[in-house]
């Protein structure tokens, strides 16, 4: 690597190799499970093997006799330790039904994996052994598994304390839907299933909690995306005052939403540290996590589009059944509601009705998984546009282009009532079609159809947008969310000219340290290498809203920019004072303040930082500090978009699907670090393709998780995924000074419908119009069989 | 308890261990060599990959007692000494290439991925894209989509070939 | 996940293994490569009281030429060493090719041929290969050793003809002599998953026709299956007969239904993959 000798203003927009990597490639990491503290005890959790049951007995006495065991508790033993149940921060309706969620169940368990007891021992192995000596008796209750049956009259209940399985029904109607559908020339209706997924961050969750030593404060290390939210919520849940709890997210090995939560084990470790006065550690095993860490997606989508005779889109109806699982976790009920703004996607229409039934079932709770509500919406609209094109007999791009918002129409207020600030769907599509050789592949497809090849070529389109940058606080308030969506940054100018940037975002693989350094380097005119970014520790970054929803750059990066701007403004006053010039006569460029027209009259940012540290000579009406804070609240969401194209080879004999090529052209606005942006797209694509082809969390009729480990839940490895061709168009956001839009979820949101559209497109001549996800060989073969003539013409 | 002796990253070590102690727990909890990670309980994810007598294995599916008398190499022993303050100087070509090609994001799978790739390149110094993908089929990454991992392995392969021929 | 405790015996010889087995009976388990047993122990689906580690029994390693047209492969020979062994590559390369599809590289570095076969899982790749090869296994117990044909060895799901006090010492396979071609079609959900269905087809060609065909099916019953109807239908025929013959590939199979595939779909796959494997093998 070459060292940068002089300040430069060209950090933003260039690939800087990541500062994060050195400790990760050499193994000098600090994952939560690496932490060993003197006297540390290990906790193991006894979990319900039943989906729904009354707990009639929990006897921990035999476990206490086991070697190394220090303590063991039932739910009842610790019931008085919780100030409240685990929190749901998003009460989407006033009458939302939410089962009481104690960290350890007392008298009723509601999903396989619900905690019923804990045992604490002096070793991992001892704690695991002792769980077998905890005697729990269950009286089985009927498990509620099917969402639609759960809402039927007389259905068994997921929670005997409630009188319904309907958590909520939430509706948003924009425009005159009846008019749109009543006068439509064509209506296209479908039911799509967006299956349940398991996020599977490769680092399992882990928690270490140390009781107070010289300070009064508890210290918790957790593999979390949200140290700040966790601190507040644990304070409210466990009766430890917020100022006496410090939460640290050390190295965190991916999250994808699964670590955007407040979990039972975090509350348990805090309460056990308090009760036993010893550091407590819990580390999840993978199969344990598959029961105890949130799942994602899981919607039944009934959707319809109304078109005019000329194929102009008039309106859309959406009715969702969204599986909440057994409890409402931190943002469980809000996830599907993000779709209320996203089903209309990039298209113009007069009316949109959105109804969502949040349904309780005896399964692991769902919550935000990469994309959270937007992948589900995008899947439905982009699948439906392909189905509509087929029914209307038009080219799928032609139908899309007829109805999408033209680039000259921005800013555009959508039918859902939000304003898309910028975008250029034409440009992204043109670039994607060229890279993909769209016309060439269509010609090949035609040839192979005519030849009746056993392996058919399919082409799938996804022209998507999403809403990122969660979120304008007032908008969140209008949606009943329990907090704001601002973000905080601090910039500390050190006397030696080095800089500390403190961010309220909490990265776990996204490269914030590098990207934030680039932003600050340009804003301050300080070398990239001279900037340190600190994060993920509530004692260091005292204020933050953490990392999820592709918000970090759009809101957190914006805060860094604003804090830097404040530093520059202060420094300019000091520089003017030192140079004996008027502030207005100074220009600031590449870290140098210079009197206009007098090249010799200048001073550097570093010199100003030293001067203000010495504080011997500075303007009388300011404090001797350049340090600045910024808390920014975005005025709008941001709206990345793009066009993704997928070519699949579908073996019509076996149902096997192979992706032959995949082109993604994304417009994420201004790019800070192209390499990091490309990496985010790649990873997102992998997870979206995984939903399309491989992954599904399956429960049986008794509520047993059949895909309980990586043996049955098929996370793709390198041979299962194709090379990705990625490119960008760049239409800057107009709602933040950086022009950025966010990229963390784009690939996931866009790719699932692109792949399924391609699979269906390959099979269309055989009469196939849909394939269940994942498009496994069995599911594809089933679709072919179902479409085949009754005489069984298929091979 | 059973006595085990082995050489880990070049250092001899010797302990009394329970026979059921997994090699990965021996490395992490007893030797405090936490560079090697655990990502699953079914031998699928490969995060715990180390070399046992020169071959890649999943250390979550080997008992420490099975490794008695063996040589164990982890990601922590890969880098050589660095020269003038730039620590990347001493890095193994795979460590360098994962860095330059952005072959990691959260970094949790990276130690196992690098150790699996090292074994692959020892068997096949010039793998094409398909061979790299198949050679890493025992390792899961949830962040990168593998494209940049493949690039990194091939970049490192080229550097290693160059080093071997010069 | 953490295994339950056990007594550990590191055996140094076959006799020591046999003595220990005799002493502990079905409370003892043999640890070969460990890639079937240790995951079960970590999930506590298996909790043997005594674990006998075969890793230091040098007699169980390596490949030798029996001199009777067969190779003998020590039970503790690791998959990677079977794949790389010069004798195997020269005389029974089909076994090396199938072995190369077992698990992933790390699994192949630890897993052993004897362990994979003695586990008796018809969803794994080697049982069908051994069946197609008409191979045998040598078992040793307190009463000496006996040779068991592959067709007799696999009894039921995870059940073999091995007695509690026996171990597999050796796997014997014929040298493949003459103009044989083969193909193992392994059909999986993802690269590292078990076969939904696997088909090993071996074809001996002679003057443009098929002198002999062998078809071994993976995961089409609780035991590996030979598609004998297909084999007989092809004897002496030209490759043109493959398509019709393969249509009977699922006859006599009893596949299970699970998350990845229904029994009906498995039967369909067996027919398609048998045709493809035979066509490739006959080329």
- CATH number of the domain at A438, please: 3.30.365.10
Burial C22-40 (b: 16+ CB within 10 A, else e): eebeeebbbbbbbbbbbbb
- Contact state of B61 with C110 under an 8 Å Cβ cutoff: yes
The answer to whether residue A450 scores a pLDDT higher than 90 is yes
How many angstroms away from the CA of B146 is the closest CA of chain A? 6
The pLDDT, as a whole number, for residue B80 is: 86
Residue in chain C closest to A698 (alpha carbons) equals: C259
The last residue of one of the domains, among A586, A602, A632, is: A632
Are residues B98 and B144 located together in one domain of the fold? yes
Q: Which of residues 44-73 of B touch A (CB under 8 A)?
A: 44-45, 47
Are residues B161 and B97 located together in one domain of the fold? yes
Instruction: Measure the CA–CA gap between A751 and A461, rounded to whole angstroms.
Output: 9
Instruction: Measure the CA–CA gap between A122 and A120, rounded to whole angstroms.
Output: 7
What's the pLDDT tens digit per position in B37-59? 999 999 999 999 999 999 999 99
Nearest CB to C106; choose among B20, B58, B66: B58
The pLDDT, as a whole number, for residue A213 is: 85
What's the pLDDT tens digit per position in C146-205? 999 999 999 999 999 999 999 999 999 999 999 999 999 999 999 999 999 999 999 999
Are residues A625 and A646 located together in one domain of the fold? no
Give the range of the structural domain holding residue B59, as residue numbers without chain letter: 2-77
Question: Region B2-14: what's the mean pLDDT?
Answer: 98
How many angstroms away from the CA of C257 is the closest CA of chain A? 11
Neighbouring CB atoms inside 10 A of A157's CB total 18
The pLDDT, as a whole number, for residue B101 is: 98
Asked, for residue A764, whether it belongs to a domain, the answer is yes
Nearest CB to A252; choose among B20, B39, B106: B106
Are residues A500 and A441 located together in one domain of the fold? no
Residue pair A552/A631 in contact (Cβ under 8 Å)? The answer is: no
DSSP state of A373: T
The pLDDT, as a whole number, for residue A795 is: 39
The pLDDT, as a whole number, for residue A699 is: 98
Asked, for residue B38, whether it belongs to a domain, the answer is yes
Burial C209-220 (b: 16+ CB within 10 A, else e): ebbebbbbbbbb
Are residues B68 and B97 located together in one domain of the fold? no
Asked, for residue B87, whether it belongs to a domain, the answer is no
Take residue C16 and report the two structure tokens written for it.
Answer: 């020591």
The answer to whether residue B125 scores a pLDDT higher than 50 is yes
Q: Which of residues 94-113 of B touch C (CB under 8 A)?
A: none
Instruction: Measure the CA–CA gap between C220 and C196, rounded to whole angstroms.
Output: 9
Asked, for residue B88, whether it belongs to a domain, the answer is no
What's the pLDDT tens digit per position in A350-409? 999 999 999 999 999 999 999 999 999 999 999 999 999 999 999 999 999 999 999 999
What's the start-to-end Cα distance of chain B, in Å? 49
Q: What is the DSSP string of chain B?
A: -EEEEEEETTEEEEEEE-TT-BHHHIIIIIS--TTS----SSS-S-TTEEEETTEEEEGGGSBGGGGTT-EEE-GGG-----SSS-GGGGS-HHHHHHHHTT--SS-SSHHHHHHHHHHHHHH-SS--HHHHHHHTTT---SSSTTHHHHHHHHHHHHHHHHHHH-
Of the candidates A511, A533, A550, A641, which has an alpha carbon nearest to the alpha carbon of residue A260? A550
Estimate to the nearest angstrom the gap between the alpha carbon of A661 and the chain centroid.
26
**% of chain A at pLDDT higher than 70:** 98
**% of chain A at pLDDT higher than 90:** 97
B116 reaches C (C-beta below 8 A): yes
Asked, for residue A783, whether it belongs to a domain, the answer is yes
The answer to whether residue A794 scores a pLDDT higher than 50 is no
Report the residue of A659, A777, A792 to disrupt the C interface, i.e. the one with the largest count of C CBs within 10 Å. A777
What's the pLDDT tens digit per position in A178-199? 999 999 999 999 999 999 999 9
Q: What is the DSSP string of A68-131?
A: TEEEEEEHHHHGGG-SSSPP-S---STT-------SS-SSEE-STT-EEEEEEESSHHHHHHHG
Number of domains in chain B: 2
Are residues A610 and A627 located together in one domain of the fold? yes
Give the chains touching A; criterion: ≥3 Cβ pairs < 8 Å.
B, C
The answer to whether residue A473 scores a pLDDT higher than 80 is yes
Asked, for residue A273, whether it belongs to a domain, the answer is no
Asked, for residue B144, whether it belongs to a domain, the answer is yes
Are residues B6 and B60 located together in one domain of the fold? yes
The last residue of one of the domains, among A611, A632, A653, is: A632
Is residue A167 very low, low, confident or very high in pLDDT (cuts 50, 70, 90)?
very high
Are residues A511 and A418 located together in one domain of the fold? no
Residue in chain C closest to B112 (alpha carbons) equals: C106
Picking from A525-539, A770-784, B84-98, C123-137, which range would have the lowest pLDDT averaged per residue?
A: B84-98
Residue A124, C-beta contacts closer than 8 angstroms, at least 6 positions apart: A42, A44, A283, B25, B29, C2
Are residues A618 and A493 located together in one domain of the fold? yes
Q: Please confirm whether the linkage preceding A200 is cis (ω < 30° from 0).
A: no
Give C94: exposed, middle or buried? Use CB within 10 Å, 0-12, 13-18, 19+. buried
The last residue of one of the domains, among A594, A616, A632, is: A632
Asked, for residue B82, whether it belongs to a domain, the answer is no
Are residues B105 and B133 located together in one domain of the fold? yes
Asked, for residue A705, whether it belongs to a domain, the answer is yes
Instruction: Measure the CA–CA gap between A337 and A330, rounded to whole angstroms.
Output: 14
Asked, for residue B83, whether it belongs to a domain, the answer is no
The pLDDT, as a whole number, for residue C273 is: 98
Asked, for residue B85, whether it belongs to a domain, the answer is no
B155 reaches A (C-beta below 8 A): no
Instruction: Measure the CA–CA gap between A648 and A659, rounded to whole angstroms.
Output: 4
Estimate to the nearest angstrom the gap between the alpha carbon of A322 and the chain centroid.
17
Number of domains in chain A: 2
Instruction: Measure the CA–CA gap between A669 and A423, rounded to whole angstroms.
Output: 9
Q: What is the DSSP string of chain C?
A: --PPP-EEEE--SHHHHHHHHHHHGGGEEEESS-TTHHHHHHTTS---SEEEE-TT-GGG--EEE-SSSEEEEETT-BHHHHHH-HHHHHH-HHHHHHHTTSS-HHHHHH-BHHHHHHTT-TTSHHHHHHHHTT-EEEEEETTEEEEEEHHHHEEETTEES--TT-EEEEEEEE---SSEEEEEEEEESSTTSPEEEEEEEEEEEETTEEEEEEEEEESSSSS-EE-HHHHHHHTT--GGGHHHHHTTTTTT------SS--HHHHHHHHHHHHHHHHHHHH-
CATH assignment at residue B39: 3.10.20.30
- Contact state of A653 with C193 under an 8 Å Cβ cutoff: no
- Contact state of C189 with A653 under an 8 Å Cβ cutoff: no
The pLDDT, as a whole number, for residue A9 is: 57
- Contact state of A682 with B145 under an 8 Å Cβ cutoff: yes
Are residues B160 and B99 located together in one domain of the fold? yes
The last residue of one of the domains, among B34, B50, B77, is: B77
Instruction: Measure the CA–CA gap between A256 and A249, rounded to whole angstroms.
Output: 15
The answer to whether residue A790 scores a pLDDT higher than 60 is no
The answer to whether residue A793 scores a pLDDT higher than 80 is no
Asked, for residue A254, whether it belongs to a domain, the answer is no
Are residues B106 and B62 located together in one domain of the fold? no
Are residues A608 and A656 located together in one domain of the fold? no
Chain B residues touching residue A687 (CB < 8 angstroms):
142
- ∠ at Cα A423 (A418, A429), nearest 5°? 130
The answer to whether residue C207 scores a pLDDT higher than 60 is yes
Nearest CB to C190; choose among A132, A287, A717: A717
The answer to whether residue A216 scores a pLDDT higher than 90 is no
Question: Region C219-233: what's the mean pLDDT?
Answer: 97
Nearest CB to B61; choose among C4, C7, C39: C39
Q: Which of residues 79-118 of B touch A (CB under 8 A)?
A: 79, 86-88, 91, 95, 98-100, 102, 104-111, 114
Residue pair A40/A106 in contact (Cβ under 8 Å)? The answer is: no
**What is the reported pTM?**
0.97
Are residues B114 and B72 located together in one domain of the fold? no
Are residues A676 and A772 located together in one domain of the fold? yes
Give A448: exposed, middle or buried? Use CB within 10 Å, 0-12, 13-18, 19+. middle
Q: Considering only CB atoms, which residues of chain A are within 8 Å of chain C?
A: 124-125, 128-129, 132, 285, 287-288, 653-654, 656, 694, 698, 706-707, 709, 711-712, 714-720, 776-778, 781-782, 795
The last residue of one of the domains, among B77, B106, B127, is: B77
A201 reaches B (C-beta below 8 A): yes
Are residues B61 and B104 located together in one domain of the fold? no
Average pLDDT over chain C, rounded to whole?
Answer: 97
Place of tokens 């398909």: B130
Are residues B7 and B45 located together in one domain of the fold? yes
What's the pLDDT tens digit per position in C69-122? 999 999 999 999 999 999 999 999 999 999 999 999 999 999 999 999 999 999
Question: Region B108-136: what's the mean pLDDT?
Answer: 98
- Contact state of B143 with A509 under an 8 Å Cβ cutoff: yes
Asked, for residue B9, whether it belongs to a domain, the answer is yes
Are residues A592 and A621 located together in one domain of the fold? yes
The pLDDT, as a whole number, for residue A8 is: 47
The pLDDT, as a whole number, for residue B87 is: 79
How many angstroms away from the CA of C1 is the closest CA of chain A? 6
Asked, for residue A52, whether it belongs to a domain, the answer is no
The last residue of one of the domains, among B19, B45, B77, is: B77
Are residues A452 and A562 located together in one domain of the fold? no
The pLDDT, as a whole number, for residue B81 is: 81
How many angstroms away from the CA of A778 is the closest CA of chain C? 6
What's the pLDDT tens digit per position in A76-97? 999 999 988 999 999 999 999 9
Instruction: Measure the CA–CA gap between C268 and C266, rounded to whole angstroms.
Output: 5
Average pLDDT over chain A, rounded to whole?
Answer: 96
The pLDDT, as a whole number, for residue A215 is: 73
Question: Region A771-785: what's the mean pLDDT?
Answer: 98
Asked, for residue A769, whether it belongs to a domain, the answer is yes
Nearest CB to A714; choose among C2, C44, C190: C190
Chain A residues touching residue C269 (CB < 8 angstroms):
654, 777
Nearest CB to B133; choose among A203, A285, A719: A719
Query: Between β-strands C159-160 and A592-595, what pairing exists: parallel, antiparallel or unpaired?
Result: unpaired
- Contact state of B42 with A686 under an 8 Å Cβ cutoff: no
Are residues A668 and A718 located together in one domain of the fold? yes
Are residues A590 and A508 located together in one domain of the fold? yes
- ∠ at Cα B58 (B57, B59), nearest 5°? 105
Instruction: Measure the CA–CA gap between B74 and B93, rounded to whole angstroms.
Output: 15
Neighbouring CB atoms inside 10 A of A335's CB total 30
Instruction: Measure the CA–CA gap between A414 and A407, rounded to whole angstroms.
Output: 14
What's the pLDDT tens digit per position in A682-720? 999 999 999 999 999 999 999 999 999 999 999 999 999
Report the residue of C107, C266, C268 to disrupt the A interface, i.e. the one with the largest count of A CBs within 10 Å. C268
Question: Region A439-466: what's the mean pLDDT?
Answer: 98
Are residues A673 and A717 located together in one domain of the fold? yes
- Chain A and chain B share a number of CB contacts under 8 A equal to 186
Give the range of the structural domain holding residue A611, as residue numbers without chain letter: 21-28+486-632
Nearest CB to C272; choose among A654, A709, A711: A654
CATH assignment at residue B134: 1.10.150.120
- Chain A and chain C share a number of CB contacts under 8 A equal to 55
The answer to whether residue A3 scores a pLDDT higher than 70 is no
Estimate to the nearest angstrom the gap between the alpha carbon of A98 and the chain centroid.
23
């Amino acid at each position: 690597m070459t060292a940068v000798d002089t300040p430069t203003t060209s950090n933003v927009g260039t690939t800087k190799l990541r500062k994060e990597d050195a400790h990760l490639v050499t193994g000098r990491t600090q994952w939560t499970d690496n932490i060993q503290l003197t006297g540390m005890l290990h906790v193991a959790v006894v979990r319900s093997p039943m989906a729904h049951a009354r707990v009639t007995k929990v006897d921990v006495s035999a476990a206490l006799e086991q070697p190394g065991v220090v303590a063991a508790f039932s739910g009842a033993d610790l019931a008085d330790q919780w100030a409240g149940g685990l929190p749901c921060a998003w009460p989407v309706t006033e009458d939302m039904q939410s089962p009481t969620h104690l960290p350890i169940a007392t008298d009723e368990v509601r999903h396989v994996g619900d905690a019923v007891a804990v045992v604490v021992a002096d070793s991992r192995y001892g704690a695991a052994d002792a769980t077998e000596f905890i005697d729990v008796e269950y009286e089985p209750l009927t498990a509620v598994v099917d969402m639609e049956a759960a809402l039927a009259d007389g259905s068994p209940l997921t929670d005997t304390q409630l009188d319904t399985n309907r958590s909520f029904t939430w509706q948003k109607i924009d425009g005159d839907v009846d008019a749109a559908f009543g006068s439509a020339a064509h209506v296209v209706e479908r039911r799509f299933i967006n299956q349940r997924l398991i996020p599977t961050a490769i680092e399992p969750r882990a928690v270490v909690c140390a009781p107070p030593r010289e300070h009064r404060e508890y210290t918790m290390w957790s593999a979390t995306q949200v140290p700040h939210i966790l601190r507040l919520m644990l304070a409210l849940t466990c009766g430890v005052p917020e100022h006496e709890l410090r939460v640290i997210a050390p190295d965190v090995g991916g999250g994808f939403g699964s670590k955007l939560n407040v979990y039972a084990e975090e509350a348990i470790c805090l309460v056990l540290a308090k009760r036993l006065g010893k550091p407590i550690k819990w580390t999840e095993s993978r199969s344990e996590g598959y029961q105890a860490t949130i799942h994602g997606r899981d919607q039944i989508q009934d959707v319809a589009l109304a078109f005019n005779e000329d194929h102009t889109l008039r309106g859309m109806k959406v009715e969702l059944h969204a599986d909440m699982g057994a409890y409402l976790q931190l943002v469980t009920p809000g996830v599907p509601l993000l779709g209320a703004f996203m089903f209309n996607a990039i298209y113009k229409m007069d009316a949109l009705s959105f109804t969502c039934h949040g349904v309780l079932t005896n399964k692991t709770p769902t919550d935000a998984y990469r994309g959270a509500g937007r992948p589900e919406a995008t899947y439905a609209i982009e699948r439906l546009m392909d189905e509509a094109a087929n029914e209307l007999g038009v080219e799928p791009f032609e139908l899309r282009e007829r109805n999408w918002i033209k680039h000259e129409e921005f800013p555009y207020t959508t039918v859902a009532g939000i304003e898309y600030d910028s975008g250029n769907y034409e440009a992204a599509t043109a670039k994607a079609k060229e890279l993909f050789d769209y016309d060439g592949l269509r010609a090949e497809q035609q040839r192979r159809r005519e030849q009746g090849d056993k392996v058919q070529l399919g082409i799938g389109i996804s022209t998507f947008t999403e809403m990122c940058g969660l979120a304008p606080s007032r908008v969140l308030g209008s949606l009943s969310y329990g907090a704001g969506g601002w973000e905080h940054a601090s910039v500390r100018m050190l006397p030696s000219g080095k800089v500390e940037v403190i961010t309220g975002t909490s990265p776990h693989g996204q490269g914030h340290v590098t990207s934030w350094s680039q932003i600050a380097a340009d804003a301050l005119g300080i070398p990239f290498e001279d900037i340190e970014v600190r994060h993920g520790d509530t004692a260091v970054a005292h204020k933050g809203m953490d990392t999820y929803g592709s918000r970090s750059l759009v809101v957190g990066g914006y805060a860094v920019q604003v804090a830097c701007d404040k530093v520059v403004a202060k420094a300019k006053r000091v520089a003017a004072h030192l140079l004996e010039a008027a502030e207005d006569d100074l220009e600031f460029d590449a870290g140098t303040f210079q009197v206009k027209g007098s090249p010799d009259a200048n001073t550097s940012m570093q010199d100003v930082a030293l001067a203000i540290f010495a504080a011997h000579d500075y303007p009388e009406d300011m404090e001797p500090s350049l340090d600045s804070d910024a808390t920014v609240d975005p005025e709008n969401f941001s709206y990345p978009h793009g066009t993704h194209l997928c070519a699949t080879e579908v073996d019509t004999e076996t149902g096997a699907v192979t992706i032959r090529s995949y082109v993604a052209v994304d417009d994420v606005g201004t790019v800070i670090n192209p390499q990091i942006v490309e990496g985010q797209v790649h990873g997102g694509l992998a997870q979206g393709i995984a939903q399309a082809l491989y992954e599904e969390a399956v429960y049986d009729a008794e509520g047993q998780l059949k895909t309980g480990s990586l043996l049955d839940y098929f996370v793709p490895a390198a041979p299962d995924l194709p090379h990705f061709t990625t490119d960008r168009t760049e239409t800057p956001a107009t709602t933040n000074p950086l022009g950025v839009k966010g990229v963390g979820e784009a690939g996931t949101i866009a790719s699932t419908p692109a792949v399924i559209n391609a699979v269906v497109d390959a099979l269309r001549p055989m009469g196939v119009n849909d394939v269940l996800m994942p498009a496994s060989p069995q599911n594809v073969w089933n679709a072919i069989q179902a479409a085949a003539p009754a005489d069984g013409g298929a091979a | 308890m059973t006595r085990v002796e082995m050489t880990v990253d070049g250092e001899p070590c010797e302990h009394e261990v329970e026979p059921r102690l997994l090699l990965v727990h021996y490395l992490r909890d007893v030797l405090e060599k936490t560079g090697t990670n655990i990502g699953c309980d079914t031998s699928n994810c490969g995060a715990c990959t180390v070399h046992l007598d020169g071959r890649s294995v999943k250390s979550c599916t080997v008992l420490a007692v099975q490794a008695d008398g063996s040589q164990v190499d982890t990601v922590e022993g890969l880098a050589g000494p660095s020269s003038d303050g730039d620590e990347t100087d001493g890095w193994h070509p795979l460590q360098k290439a994962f860095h330059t090609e952005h072959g990691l994001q959260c970094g949790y799978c990276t130690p196992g991925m690098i150790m699996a790739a090292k074994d692959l390149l020892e068997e096949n110094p010039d793998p094409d894209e398909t061979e790299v993908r198949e050679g890493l089929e025992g390792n899961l990454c949830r962040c990168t989509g593998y494209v940049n991992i493949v690039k990194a392995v091939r970049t490192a392969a080229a550097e290693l070939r160059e080093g071997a021929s010069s | 996940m953490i295994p339950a405790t056990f007594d550990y015996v590191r055996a140094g010889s076959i006799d020591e293994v046999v003595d220990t087995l005799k002493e502990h009976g079905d409370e003892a388990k043999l640890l070969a490569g460990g890639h079937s047993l240790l995951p079960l122990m970590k999930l506590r689906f298996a909790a043997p009281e005594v674990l006998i580690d075969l890793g230091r029994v040098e007699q169980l390693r390596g490949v030798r030429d029996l001199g009777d047209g067969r190779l003998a492969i020590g039970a503790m020979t690791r998959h990677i060493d079977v794949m790389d062994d010069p004798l195997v590559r020269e005389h029974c390369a089909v076994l090396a090719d199938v072995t190369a599809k077992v698990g992933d590289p790390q699994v192949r570095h630890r897993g052993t041929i004897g362990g994979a076969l003695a586990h008796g899982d018809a969803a794994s790749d080697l049982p069908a290969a051994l069946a197609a090869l008409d191979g045998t296994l040598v078992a040793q117990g307190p009463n000496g050793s006996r040779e068991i044909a592959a067709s007799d060895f696999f009894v039921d799901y995870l059940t073999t003809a091995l007695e509690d006090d026996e171990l597999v010492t050796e796997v014997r396979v014929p040298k493949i002599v003459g103009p044989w071609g083969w193909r193992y079609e392994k059909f999986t959900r993802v690269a590292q998953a078990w076969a939904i269905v696997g088909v090993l087809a071996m074809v001996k060609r002679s003057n443009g026709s098929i002198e002999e065909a062998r078809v071994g099916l993976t995961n089409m019953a609780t035991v590996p299956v030979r598609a004998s109807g297909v084999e007989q239908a092809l004897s002496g025929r030209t490759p043109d007969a493959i398509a019709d013959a393969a249509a009977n590939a699922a006859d006599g199979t009893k596949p299970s239904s699970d998350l990845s595939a229904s029994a009906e779909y498995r039967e369909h796959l067996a027919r398609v993959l048998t045709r493809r494997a035979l066509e490739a093998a006959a080329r």
